[in-house]
Amino acid sequence: MSAEAAEAIAAPPVTIDEEHLIRSVIRLAWPVVVQQVSFSMVQLVDTALVGHLGEDSLAGVRLAGQIFWFSQAGMMALAVGSTAVIARNVGANRPELASRTLRNAILMAAAWGVLVGLVMWFLGSSWLKLLGAEPEARHQGTVYLKAAAVGMPFWSLTYAGSASLQGAGDTRTPMAIGVLVNATNIVIAYTLINGRGPFPRLDVLGSGAGFSGAAIIGGSLVLTVLASGTRIIHWYPWEALRFDPTEAGRVLNVGVPTGLEQIQFNIAFMTYTRIIASLGTTVLAAHGVTLAIQSLTFNVGFGLSVATTALVGQSLGAQRPDLAERSTHVTIRYSLAFMIALGAVLMIFGAQITDLFVGGKNADEVVHIGRQLLFVFAFAMPALAVSLCLGGGLRGAGDTRAVLLIMAGTTWIVRLIPAYLLAITFGLGVPGCDSGRGVGRRSRSDRCLLPIASVRIVRPAMIIYTLRNCPTCDKARSALHERGIEFEERRVDENAKWWDEALNYGITVPVILWDNGDVEVGWEGEHG
């Protein structure tokens, strides 16, 4: 290999405009924010439509939503894993490997969606009983779950495909699909819940049907885009069932801790919901409304979190850890500014906002409780802004285990115990529960800062295996030194039996082993 070629490979192209880093952050983040806002609007409209059917319908659907979000654990695992791995491959200019990762992520997403749909259909009623739903609320929630179960395989495909595109730096396509899907959901739900035009009135069943209909459209659109060959990553339908354990393992290595994080969070949240449910159906209904409102405020922070994951992953793939750090700092500043402003809105107009989504008996009491919940939640917004972006940065670096440990510790120790003590033991009711949530979020952001400050987690160490008297290995070593990447060098014994076997499989040096499990073989395929 020529010196010019070696030098070119030593610095893979960066798709990030580092001279205008803020522009790159905004370019990646705003489509995610729009997509999430549209999704939150679905939740808000659906909450408003179901809420006017009465508190039993609202409580049942909100509890069913807890089960739905529990199923998101597998989707989150595949989404975060594929985003991080694909971003790393795109940053390292390896689109073929990124497409291979995509294929396995799509296959695993389809399998997970089918499994979740079956569980929701056959076990949904039992789960609602476990959550403490009263008989009528349990019936309404079961109706919703069975209708929504039909669309779960397609929703899982939409989730994984959109995350893969975001990892490749394309956040606009998932945005366009997401907005269309969510608009479809609203139209179908509005039509069927109320029985507009020639369609019958289905009440809660119409809400579940709206979700499934929109999910089928979303999954079909995502697969069509990925199969079109117009994106940097490509899904080949004729290879759809071709499973690659190695690539699947890379996705799961990063994603499984995120899935476990989501599982423990949802178990904790179900426990938290049991505390809320023990305070009565009216309190539970108010809590469901405020959750839908709060989800709208998450969107800016979540969009910047996704941008951080993509930017950090691509920067590390391009061997630019310094750019990964700068990107994380920029997203944190913007997230803080926006979410503090949104928190102020919730503090001032909490009652008026809650009033838009309730009706029927006890509406005034629901609004009063909702205002208290939103007021307490607003104090946690700055901590939430920081933790979302830091979590995104850690995931982009492949260190999802650190995020898992932080989330588990703060959720169970710092959040649930204070929530129970304040709400039940000291008799503060539902505001006491949300005070515990605020403490948990602040602690989580503080603990996320510790690994960043102490070990600079976005600077992953590596092991590089080299041969003696190898010009290409020398080039790789020099490039790593120039970029300030810490590494441990190990010499390869050319006479070793395992090395002869490796050569038979086309493995060349240098072999770079990152601390998150990624392996890079060769420096453009030759070693001297």
The phi and psi torsions of 14 (rounded to 5 degrees) equal: -105, 125
Can you give the pLDDT at residue 449? Answer: 45
CATH (domain of 508): 3.40.30.10
Q: How far apart are CA 328 and CA 312, in angstroms?
A: 7
Phi, psi torsion values for 232, nearest 5 degrees: -65, -25
Does residue 53 lie in a domain region?
no
Range of the domain at 478: 462-521
In a domain, 505, yes or no: yes
**155-159, 230-234, 255-259, 424-428: least confidently modelled range:** 424-428
What are the phi and psi torsion angles at 490 (to 5°)? -130, 130
In a domain? residue 197: no
Q: What is the pLDDT of residue 461?
A: 47
Chain segment 301-340, per-residue pLDDT in tens: 888 888 888 888 878 777 677 788 888 888 888 888 988 9
Higher pLDDT, 193 or 294: 193
Question: What is the Cα 277 distance to its own chain's centre?
Answer: 27
pLDDT of residue 111: 95
303 falls within a domain? no
Instruction: Please state, as a whole number, how many other Cβ atoms lie within 10 Å of the Cβ of residue 456.
Output: 14
The contacts of residue 26 (CB under 8 Å, 6+ apart) are: none
Per-residue tokens: 523 = 């420096």
Question: CA-based angle 256:130:291, to the nearest 5?
Answer: 70
pLDDT > 80? residue 421: no
What does the pLDDT look like over 94-106, one tens digit per residue? 888 889 999 999 9
Kindly indicate the confidence band of residue 281, based on its pLDDT and cuts at 50, 70 and 90.
confident
Query: Alpha-carbon distance 440 to 100, whole Å?
Result: 39
Whole-angstrom Cα distance, residue 96 to residue 85? 12
CB 65 within 8 A of CB 77: no
- 359 pLDDT band, cuts 50/70/90, is low
User: What DSSP line would sit under 374-442, residue for residue?
Assistant: HHHHHTTHHHHHHHHHHHHHHHHTT-HHHHHHHHHHIIIIIIIHHHHIIIIIS---HHHHHHHHHHHHH
Q: How far is CA 357 from CA 269, 292, 351, 415, in A?
A: 23, 10, 11, 27
How much is the pLDDT for 455? 34
* Three-state SS at 232: coil
* Domains held by the chain: number: 1
Residue type, 294: Q
Position 523 confidence tier, pLDDT thresholds 50, 70, 90: very low
Residue 413 resides in a domain: no
In a domain, 345, yes or no: no
Closest of 315, 259, 244 to residue 99, by C-alpha: 244
Average pLDDT over residues 342-355: 86
Separation CA 228–CA 231 (nearest Å): 8
pLDDT level of residue 465 (50, 70, 90 thresholds): low
Question: Of 36-50, 144-158, 303-317, which range is least confident?
Answer: 36-50
Does residue 380 lie in a domain region?
Answer: no
In a domain, 509, yes or no: yes
Dmax over Cα atoms in the chain, in whole Å? 82
DSSP structural state of residue 17: -
The arithmetic mean of pLDDT across residues 63-91, rounded, is 84
Pair 43, 292: CB distance under 8 Å: yes
Quote the tokens at residue 182.
Answer: 């969510």
